[in-house]
Amino acid sequence: MHAILQKVSALTQWTTDSPRPCPLCSGMERKLLFTREQWEIVQCSRCDMVFIGTQFAYDVQAQYHDWADEHAKEFQRRKKRQPVMLFLSRLLRPLRPHTEGRMLSQALRWRRGGKLLDFGCGEGAFIELAAKHFNVTGIELSPRAAQISQQRVRSARIFDGPVTEIAERELPAETFDVVTQFGYIEHEWHPLSGLRAAHRVLKPDGVTVIKTPNYASWNRYIRGTDWCGYHIPGHCNYFTPHTLSELFRKAGFEPLPGLLLDSLPTSDSLWMAARKPA
């Protein structure tokens, strides 16, 4: 109980900070879409980017907000509000494509081997598969998850800390053939810095591949604030194919033509890839 109270007081302390600039265009003009607890979900008046409009620091995020806790909380919230939807979703799970397998095939579409860096590698399920094709390195904010990753893939180099800081400090420029970001960029409070970090460590002609919730999905319009892409405050950026392409260009990338299936509004997930021009 004491730990929970500490968490709440830390969150309150850190979220009364100044407003967060738009992560895509740095604009400060925004309209409020909705609030949940102390968090405001806003849309930039200049570029339409949707994001959490309050500042939040990395160290607090790592210390007080392990993603494993947050997913359990979101699961309980849905169980209470949408028991039937959740039941159906779990029932249909075996029919859905295996997520890590799909991540691997997305990476293999662009590069068949070489050095792969995974941003936000979590507990290492993806890099374990990827290690059969690539020489893998991972960065993970949660120390607990980073440790599990390292135990799982002993040959990999796993760094524990914020992606942008680790990439800058520990990794030389123009080293990697692929940077994968599956479920990372929606969590990154500085997503442009995240993409710039990917750009710096990639070799010329290297590719970055992203999976993130698709804010342009029809399901989001239908389900409103109960949409499965909303994990608040875990997900602080909500991209459409358009806003993610713009962010790629700002970071110096050239968006690659995806398969039509990967960015349809029928999908809750958005898969996109971009190339660092040679």
Binding site for Zn ion (CB under 5 A): 22, 24-25, 27, 44, 46-47, 49
Cα separations (Å) of 203 from 5, 138, 199?
Answer: 46, 17, 8
Shortest Cβ 182–Zn ion spacing (Å):
25
> Quick one: 45 or 89, whose CB is closer to Zn ion?
45
- CA-angle at 125, arms to 123 and 128, nearest 5°: 115
> Quick one: 182 or 189, whose CB is closer to Zn ion?
189
Shortest Cβ 30–Zn ion spacing (Å):
8
Shortest Cβ 49–Zn ion spacing (Å):
5
Choose among 211, 197, 142: nearest CA to 164. 197
Shortest Cβ 25–Zn ion spacing (Å):
3
> Quick one: 44 or 232, whose CB is closer to Zn ion?
44
Q: How does strand 176-182 pair with strand 114-119? A: parallel
> Quick one: 124 or 194, whose CB is closer to Zn ion?
194
Both tokens of 167, joined, read 């990439």
Shortest Cβ 191–Zn ion spacing (Å):
12
> Quick one: 48 or 268, whose CB is closer to Zn ion?
48
d(CA 55, CA 98): 35
Residue pair 159/170 in contact by the 8 Å Cβ criterion:
yes
Both tokens of 226, joined, read 């109960």
